[in-house]
Amino acid sequence: MLLTHVKFDEWPAKALREMGAEAVEGVGAWEDLLLVHSEIFLRAAKRAGERPLLAVAVANAALGKRQAVFYIGGTMMAGPHAARGGHFFNAVVYIARKLGAAVVSIDGHFPRGTWEAHMEYKFPLYLIYGGADGPPQRYIHRRGHKAVAIPMPPGAGDRSFWLAISHVLKAEGPLAIHLGFDIHREDPTGHFFAGEYLFYKLGEALRGRQFYISIECTSTPKVFASALGSLLAGVAGRGAEPAPGEESEEALREVRRVVSSVFKK
């Protein structure tokens, strides 16, 4: 289920390979990028050397599976025309377009590239992001094509995130997911308080489903190992469900209000 490329040498790729991830070899084709990205984008991506093609190879290997969690260095900031944040291939949008899947984004950041791709390709989109980072909910709901936005208030933790995610996972069919570990309580940004409970519950809810997760913000090696471990335990049904951590009641009330306004009827 875990995949990365054999040639990626940054620590999250090494950590994944140490956890037994499949080390994909070989390269994809520049034409594959055109399913998501424009010729203008391609010219910028080519300056990053072969890295975008290694990412394509990992995405293609993931597509050969029913369930995959992969790391290619982040994907969510890569839009149809603009490569930013060092993201040179939006593998999540690529997979969503190949499979007709819905896209779910769970990260402290707003996935700007994926949002731009949604405006162009109109795939179903569910956004759970730090409210301080992204546009207001009403903007997304007005401009998007039935996109669902759940901005999370600072201090949101296990129960808040699970409330939002459990509603979003009612979307049917395969899911292409951006997942960031910067929502973890031990992430240095300190905005959110999700932990082992949330990642386990997410994994448990995905058990038996067809899904493709791109690891986005990796946080620290300790958070990475712990959050990913809980996610995989949830998918496998291994170990006991962790208890939810503490969080602000005010944040939870706010998320309840937002979720009930989005999912009324």
- Rule CB under 5 A: which residues touch Zn ion? 107-109, 180, 182, 217
Q: Which of 223, 231, 185 is nearest to 205 (CA)?
A: 231
CB of 88 to Zn ion, least distance (A): 17
Which residues, other chains included, contact 153 with Cβ-Cβ below 8 Å and sequence gap of 6+? 131, 160, 250, 251, 254, 255
List 106's β-bridge partners, or say none: 128, 179
CB of 110 to Zn ion, least distance (A): 9
CB of 240 to Zn ion, least distance (A): 29
Q: How many CB atoms lie under 10 A from the CB of residue 191?
A: 18
Q: Which is nearer to Zn ion, 24 or 78 (CB)?
A: 78
Q: What residue number has its CB nearest to Zn ion?
A: 217
CB of 149 to Zn ion, least distance (A): 16
Which residues, other chains included, contact 46 with Cβ-Cβ below 8 Å and sequence gap of 6+? 30, 52
Please answer whether residues 164 and 150 qualify as being in contact, where contact means their C-beta atoms are separated by less than 8 angstroms: yes
CB of 77 to Zn ion, least distance (A): 10
Q: Which is nearer to Zn ion, 134 or 244 (CB)?
A: 134
Please answer whether residues 177 and 106 qualify as being in contact, where contact means their C-beta atoms are separated by less than 8 angstroms: yes
CB of 15 to Zn ion, least distance (A): 18
Give the helix, strand, coil percentages of the chain, each rounded to 5: 45, 15, 40
How far is residue 169's CA from residue 63's CA, in Å, rounded to a whole number?
A: 20
Q: Which is nearer to Zn ion, 60 or 160 (CB)?
A: 160
Q: Which is nearer to Zn ion, 107 or 116 (CB)?
A: 107
Q: Which is nearer to Zn ion, 175 or 215 (CB)?
A: 215
CB of 164 to Zn ion, least distance (A): 16
Please answer whether residues 89 and 42 qualify as being in contact, where contact means their C-beta atoms are separated by less than 8 angstroms: no
Pull the structure tokens for residue 33: 């990028």
How far is residue 136's CA from residue 191's CA, in Å, rounded to a whole number?
A: 18
How far is residue 178's CA from residue 200's CA, in Å, rounded to a whole number?
A: 16
Q: Which is nearer to Zn ion, 74 or 174 (CB)?
A: 74
Q: Which is nearer to Zn ion, 182 or 196 (CB)?
A: 182
